[in-house]
Chains A and B, each alone.
Chain A
Amino acid sequence: MAAEGNEEAEEYDLYHVDFTTASEWEVFIARIEEVLQQWKLHQNRFCNPKEKLCNVSWNTLTENICFADYEFVITRYFVKNLEEENISEEEKKKQVPSTLITLMDIMNSENDFIPIIYDGDESSPHVLVRWYGLRDFVILTPLKGHLTSESKLKLLLSSFSMAANNISCQVPLFVRFLEPWQKFYVGIYEGQEVRTDFEMVHLKKIPSQCRHLTGLLSLFKSKIGESDFSEPIMVAARFAYCLHDWTNFAWTQDPPDIELFSGDIGWTELGSFPFGSVCEPINSITLYTCWPEVLETMAVDNELYSDFDPLSAPVWSLSITKTDNPVCLLTDYVTEFLLYCTSNKTIEDLLGDFAAKDANDVLQPFSLLTESRIPTITTLLSQYASKKKSVEGPINQKLLMPILFFLFPDVEENSKYPYSEEKDADKTSAQRMKTCPRDSLIWRLALVMAHSLHMFGGAKAAAHIWHEFSQEIRFRWNSNNMIPGIAPGFPDPKSCLLHQKLQMINCCIERRKRSEEAALGKRESDESDDEFFDCDENVEDDAKPASTIPIGRLSQHNSLKLINTGQPLYIPVTQGATPKTEDQLEEDAQVLIQLGSDAEGSQLRAKIMSASLLSDMESFKAANPGASIEDFIRWYSPRDWVEEEGEDQFGQKKGKLSARMTLPGNTWLEVWDSAKPVPANRQKRLFDETREAEKALHFLESQTPASSGLMVVPILAHAAVEKLHEEAKDIQIPSLQNTVQQAIKRVEALSRNAPMDVHRYQELCFELGYAETVVSQIKSIESKLGSDEAAKEFACKLVSEGETILPGGSTGSIASKLKTIFVDARKACLIGDLDGGGSSSGENPNNSILPQATEKEFILRATAPRPHRHSRPTPQRLHVRVSKTDISMAGAFTQDKTFF
């Protein structure tokens, strides 16, 4: 404890023991004064003593300072104050001068037991705030090592004392003593005519009288001195009850496993992610029962009897400790999948003979009409039915069949998992992701691959799924069956490449179906002339009379007549637009770009582009025998037809081609001249569905395991953030919601990012991991303490802000849930004791809901004259913390300086 008494003698003594010259000591004191003045601690300021210290932000200022060769760091901790000018008149009235604030703080019970968060040796706010309720103070710590010598401590304190008196410093000054983890601080405060000593005691052995209030009161009184107390001592108390053992209240998520899928139920699980932490995310909870202000005379607390009944304490609050980095299922799934995407194993490595069996087919992609030997669903079905033995893949057929039925539900009569017809309702989020519609084929594929990776046999199983998938797609093409669960229409550049490829194959299947149907129709009724069918290149010769007989008409134009003949103008059937996937578009664009940006390049581009112009012109000529370019232009580019006054012989307005259209040698005229009257169905096809389908199928079949993973990883990530968003959406924690939004944004960006970089998904895993952990913590607390509105809000505060007061106190609904948990834990404990043979005292568990307190805290306050009976009454405070194993006391004892 800090010294009192003859300072001068002490100083003299120490000067000889520790430091070389008196002037060094003087320099040290001067330097302290300098720093304190620099921080303006000698000036009068104003503060609001009512300001709660639990929700303010803290500032620190730091300087280095030396005593001879001994280096120190001096730090000021203080509440960040509003700027002077921002303080309202109202606020100003509440303020008091800073000369009074330290002593007021010591006596202010508003800041008792404010929660502090420990992080190693650091805590926030500083432990001194907790022990003394201070808002502004200075600490001196050795730069290296730690102080252990009492005499050095005394010297430093007296230096502080000198400096504080010299400049009338208005805040307490502390020295950190012993090792940092011991959190041992000794300090002084030099006020106007008073002086406060801040002293601490840590004891490993707890004196029995110190376990209870009665003993602590007499200790406090004896420390203050033999004076009559004008006022009784005010007591604040808080008992802590910690619970580690959840018995039936543990909250964990079981990873889905193969067992789940052995029955009929559980298949919908394949279409979604598992979510949550696999171990209890809340390590422990601590209940604090608190009595904020009790008169010493009103409370008895000794070894035999206590008035402090926790169940009727006026304030209950709760804090939790969280499990460090619990394994979370969703995050684990994604992480595992990313690993798969970086593997350099080949399909052969993973599937061996099984893949080799099919490899022959893959190598001959153009042998189309041969009966496929690939085990598609249909062939598998018959194999399964007849129990025929064949080479099995990593996933056995019993398991594989339901998976394939889930991916291709159209195979079953009454599938439980059909793809929904309606368009995505929530377009906004889906649109920004370059993936695929929710719960579509490849969405399911991504999830099934992830599930396979996790529980059906690892990388082999995932590769097997991809293999089966691409084989089934080929079968669809071969057998003219549309692929289910794919958005209709042309490849959508807003979806991912894999989705576009499947759309492309569907386009091809549709085209082929249409032309086959048309050919069939042709055979049945010969006269209809507007159908569209495939033809050989040489059929063109048969079409010679087409120059006079119109063919390939779609419909009559509603007004135009041919200029030369007066016949109605017919709009021809034209070759439809060409579906292209984004990689093909990119290739096309590259071809055009490579032609250069000069006039010659433009010419060549026009040439390439004029293929479709030629096709349209030929169709037009076939549908309108005797037509001229004027007729074509009036239909095709009406703005290049300049109308003039007067009518022609057929009652149409006269007109002429625009200037640019009549330029000699322009491409339009050239192409018109070279166009023969050929209907679209006999032209060279602009789109060759067989070639395009083969290209797309080859694309699917030539993926390595890793690249197939990369193909679906954006979809998997999309599904993951959607799941996260779903799970987190009702949890009002800003940092959680921010992380969720950030993760969604990240997936949006990543999904549009080509080529794919798996490493950029790593960040996503951190975000997923953090958010999934927080959601698990909330769910765990809700499962224990209820999930009504109040409990939800409580859970959020508990997780995001730490110690939280229970709404409704010890009688509220959260408290009653808590009691059940404590009782349960006690019962389990008793049973454990009985099993272990140790005969318990037979204590009835009903009348003691809570276990023995893990920690008790008392704050004792009094205004009493010190050092003598006739001194002026000054603030005295003692903060005691008794745990099961040790005791700490921190006292602030003030004395009158004028009556020595």
Chain B
Amino acid sequence: MEEDVLTTLKILIIGESGVGKSSLLLRFTEDSFNPDQSLTIGVDFKTKKLSIDGNTVRLAIWDTAGQERFRTLTPSYYRDAQGAILVYDVTSQATFSKLETWLSELDTYSTKSNIVKMVVGNKIDKAGREISREEGMKFARRHATLFIESSAKTKDGVQCAFEELVQKIIQTPGLWESTNGGKTFQVSDGPAEPSSCGGWQCTI
């Protein structure tokens, strides 16, 4: 029901090309995985409704291409985003090393100073891991972001990543405003429900 939706939240997915951004989005929105995921050009976009603690929000998720050249194009879409998912590929040191650049890009172009950031290490199902979970976690802690590991292929951590991000956005004062007049969020002050996210979550 449309009137149940309290607000629309804008979320970005950024990171190097090929780390699985589009695959994560597809897994989250349609619960499927396409090994032949086509290479994103510029930006793409999907929506999904999500219920957390009895609040339903509409998510407008912007998927971006990771190529150097597109970087001049995509930051335009960073405007007014409340959340950002920074993805790297746990089997590729190079994609992890680039996170720093993506973070500074986000700082430069995001218009909300308190945008919620989440670092996601993807492809944990794949052999040949180069980045340990601890390394990822350390990075997240250093930059005060949320952290989770995931696999778009096996579903691990995907739902949880989005839920945790949204929960944090809701709990951040002044980051979003209800367009729905009188209605307000019920903000639970406890941490994200541990049961739903198993051992994957790490709230920093």
Contact = CB atoms under 8 A, between A and B. Distances in A.
Interface of A: 431-432, 434, 493-494, 574, 576-578, 580, 582, 585-586, 588-589, 592-593, 597, 601-602, 605-606, 608-610, 612-613, 616, 636-637, 639-640, 658-661, 663, 666-668, 749, 752
20 contacts: A432-B113, A493-B111, A494-B111, A574-B69, A577-B73, A580-B76, A592-B45, A597-B46, A606-B38, A606-B41, A610-B42, A637-B17, A658-B18, A659-B35, A659-B36, A661-B39, A663-B36, A663-B38, A666-B38, A667-B38
A640 B65 CA distance: 12
A585 B10 CA distance: 14
Interface of B: 16-18, 29, 35-47, 60, 66-70, 72-73, 76-77, 79, 109, 111, 113, 174
B39 A660 contact: yes
Contact of B42 (A609, A640, A666, A749): A609
Contacts of B45: 592-593, 597, 601, 605
Contacts of B109: 493
B42 A606 contact: yes
B67 A637 contact: yes
B60 A431 contact: no
B69 A660 contact: no
| Secondary structure type dominating chain B contacts | loop
Nearest to A598: B46
Nearest to B42: A609
Contacts of A432: 113
Contacts of B38: 606, 660, 663, 666-667
B42 A605 contact: yes
Nearest to B78: A493
B43 A610 contact: no
Nearest to A588: B76
Contacts of B40: 606
Given A577-B73, A582-B79, A639 B42 contact: no
Nearest to B94: A639
B69 to A, nearest CB: 6
Contacts of A637: 17, 39, 67
Contact of B41 (A434, A578, A610, A752): A610
Given A606-B41, A610-B42, 5 more contacts: A577-B72, A601-B45, A606-B44, A613-B42, A668-B39
Contact of A609 (B43, B46, B111): B43
Task: Give 3 nearest A-B pairs by CB, closest first.
Answer: A609-B42, A577-B72, A639-B18
A574 to B, nearest CB: 8
A592 B36 contact: no
A668 to B, nearest CB: 6
A597 B47 contact: yes
A660 B23 CA distance: 12
A610 B40 CA distance: 10
A586 B42 CA distance: 16
A613 B41 contact: yes
A608 B73 CA distance: 12
Contacts of A434: 111
Contacts of B77: 585, 589
A749 B177 CA distance: 11
Contacts of A752: 111
A660 B36 contact: yes
Contacts of A593: 45, 60
Nearest to B112: A752
A662 to B, nearest CB: 10
A159 to B, nearest CB: 53
B73 A612 contact: yes
Nearest to A575: B72
B174 A749 contact: yes
Nearest to A616: B69
Contacts of B76: 580, 585, 588
A47 to B, nearest CB: 40
Nearest to B67: A637
B79 A640 contact: no
B152 to A, nearest CB: 14
B37 A660 contact: yes
Contacts of A608: 42
A639 B45 CA distance: 22
Contacts of A586: 79
Contacts of A616: 69
Contacts of A577: 72-73
A597 B44 CA distance: 9
Nearest to A671: B41
Among B18, B41, B73, B113, the one with the most A-chain Cβ atoms within 10 Å of its Cβ is B41
Nearest to B47: A597
Nearest to A637: B67
A666 B66 CA distance: 17
A439 B36 CA distance: 54
Given A494-B111, A592-B45, A668-B39, A639 B69 contact: no
Contacts of B39: 637, 640, 658, 660-661, 666, 668
